[in-house]
Amino acid sequence: MEFITLNNGVQLPGIGLGVFRMTDEEVARTVPAALDAGYRLIDTASRYYNEKAVGAALRSHGIPREEVFVTTKLWFKDYGYEKTRRAFEVSLDNLGLDHLDLYLMHQPFNDYYGAWRAMEELLDEGRVRAIGVSNLYSDRYLDLITHHRVVPAVNQREVHPFHQQDEAKAVQDRHGTVLQAWGPLAQGNPDLYSHPVLQHIAATHGRSIPQIVLRWLLQRGIPLVAKSTDPARLRQNLAVFDFRLTADELTAIARLDRGRPGLGFTHQDPRMLELLLKYA
């Protein structure tokens, strides 16, 4: 496993298992399989409704607490100082843990100032080892760091060859926030798996296209969260630490950027916001 050092010295595993849209039964099977394969980062969220299943899977596996990095996320209906403090306790209880490794604000809406003040306190109290954000565009990211004491350790955003986030990464690099990728395989977009550039690079290295993409992210200094419930795919996704892409290959992949998210919307799209804010 490769690790990324966060701005407060905490070591973040380069590849994590995401449990978005996993049922409790899938979590019960997949988390132990992932730990056996070598994963040491499990990424969940209150909005995934499977924190309890993640906690149960960790306990049933028996992995020592200090050997696993656990991330969960605060849903924006729970933003605001008091609500964030309460929501944190609920997540911690769901997971059956005495502290979190990383706590993220899930979306850039509602009272994120109040939420961040509460998260800063949780960090000061040692209840969480690092705090960060998710889906924060550069305008709100800069607003947050300008008016608060703690700079986010992580901003988790959609990053893949068709949406490379170069500008966002440059902004965050200047201020010491790690860009962590969700959706690194473009949400299963068939264009990714059939692209001739990626096919050629994969054939050159005797690897799969997902392995090439994950290696590309790591060489850009971008840790990632990938989802799979297939034990073979879990192992394959970790088999990316024994080779490197060449400078020419990195340049070829850089040319694939389409500059737009794979899901077909942004968090600044009014139609998306009207839908999402119904859940506030």
Provide the annotated active-site residues: 48
**Coarse DSSP helix, strand, coil percentages of the chain, rounded to the nearest 5 percent:** 50, 15, 35
Q: Residue 41 and residue 225: Cα distance in Å, rounded?
A: 8
CA 175 to chain centre: 19
Q: Residue 148 and residue 116: Cα distance in Å, rounded?
A: 8
Contact criterion met (CB below 8 Å) for 222 and 16: no
21 CB neighbour count, 10 Å cutoff: 10
Q: Which residues contact residue 150 at a Cβ distance below 8 angstroms, ignoring those fewer than 6 apart? A: 116, 119, 120, 123, 131
Q: Residue 270 and residue 121: Cα distance in Å, rounded?
A: 33
Please indicate if the annotation marks 106 as binding a ligand: yes
Q: Which residues are annotated as a binding site for substrate?
A: 106
Q: Which residues are annotated as a binding site?
A: 106
